[in-house]
Chain A
Amino acid sequence: MENTSNQTPLLSVSDFLAIVNQTLEYAYPSIEIEGEVASFKINQGKYVFFDLKDAGGSVGCFMTVWQLRVPIEDGMKVIVRANPKITQWGKFSLTVQSIRPSGEGSLKKSYELLKTKLEGEGLFNEERKRPLPAMPTHIGVISSTQAAGYADFIKIIGDRWGGMKIEVAHTQVQGEAAPDQMIRAIRHFNEQPELPQILVIIRGGGSADDLSSFNDELLVREIAASRIPTVVGVGHEIDETLADFAADVRAATPSNAAQLIVPDKREIVAETRHAMKRILSRVAYAIDELRASARESISTMYQAIETGISSAEQALQDKRSLLSAYSPMAVLERGYAIVRGKQTVGEKLHISTNVNEITAEVTDVKKR
């Protein structure tokens, strides 16, 4: 529509609002604004309204609850990514695409709020934790392949163990896009016909803001819901993220994740050698036992033979004694004599005593 009198365009209200919005979209396709949250409220469980303010001004903001990835409350300092818009009622506001806490205090506050919420749902309960296979053959890794933590992980896992298929999903591990990329990677692995036995999510150290992706509510929920047992190794030992708590196994660092996933082959070799030594000593012991037993048997047999010989010797001695007692010489020694020859007068008799052999003549024979 056009006002022909002064060449000034005549617009309907709707057209005017559309043009202003077009102009704003052209001028600010996407901007990030930092400020403090005030009057935060959620309507009908779907729509989020709040004001973003600083010492010099305030602007209304709108977003849906599904875009709200971290808990927000009044007084928190945040950074919003948004498009400026004028509503059909002429109210200027920011349509927020994403919001994240800014500054240590807000990050900590948001972290605590979400931790309390998810803890209340039982997402971090110990009974949910699944054990990892002792010697996996197939693992999935979610990390940035350019990260130092990833290089450490691959090196240490290679030093410790071999023969595994390691599939790596390269994703961002910090920044606004990181949580969604990691969520897609978790889903990708969970949808494979051949599931990895372990899913490892790793990232090296960084500032609280760098690691804040691992406190994203949807990412934490995705980790907890994974069909594949998960290991999360993010940051340094002192760092703590909600993804750590949701994982089946929490590793202090990416290097520690590698240590928890696979045994050390050097230890296995040492154990194998030790097992062989145990076997060998068992055989040696058995041989010693046999030797001792054989020695004992021989000794028993020897003793039995000795006893037999002694008995035989004794028996022989007894027989000798008996025979000696029956010997005619023993009778002669007692003073008797043996007389041989015909007991007829004039005949010669042969008489044996213990000391003499005598020849005598019979001079008389009388009957008793």
Chain B
Amino acid sequence: MSKSDKTTSPISDKLAKLQEYVEWFEGDGFSIEQSLEKFSEAEKLAAEVEHDLQELKNEVVVLNAKFE
């Protein structure tokens, strides 16, 4: 998987990759021989997404700058 930059959410990268798996499974390139490996990768990714969503917290920073 490509390393995400600062403007792309790691979750969004993983969701995009998961979507690629779904498309592979639903597309013409699907083959039963490769499906086991691909399914196991997709399953791992889905578990990571779920874990990330549960664990990731927002970092709230109140700026010191004064706007008065």
Contacts and interface: CB of A to CB of B under 8 A. Distances in A.
Interface of A: 133-138, 145, 154, 157-158, 161-171, 177, 181-182, 184-185, 188, 194, 197, 265, 268-269, 272-273, 275-276, 278-280, 282-283, 286-287, 290
A273 B39 CA distance: 13
A345 B6 CA distance: 127
A163 B11 contact: yes
Contacts of A181: 67-68
Interface string B36-59: 000100110010011011111111
Given A138-B6, A163-B52, A164-B58, A279 B65 contact: no
B35 A283 contact: yes
Interface residues of B, number: 38
B58 A163 contact: yes
Contacts of A286: 30, 32, 35
Most buried by A among B26, B57, B58: B58
B39 A283 contact: yes
Contacts of B35: 282-283, 286
B7 A138 contact: yes
B55 to A, nearest CB: 7
Nearest to B48: A272
B44 to A, nearest CB: 11
B60 interface: yes
B45 to A, nearest CB: 9
Interface in B1-47: 6-12, 15, 18-19, 21-22, 25-26, 30, 32, 35, 39, 42-43, 46
Contact of A265 (B18, B32, B53): B53
Contact of B18 (A168, A170, A182, A275): A275
7 contacts: A136-B9, A162-B52, A170-B63, A171-B67, A177-B68, A272-B15, A278-B26
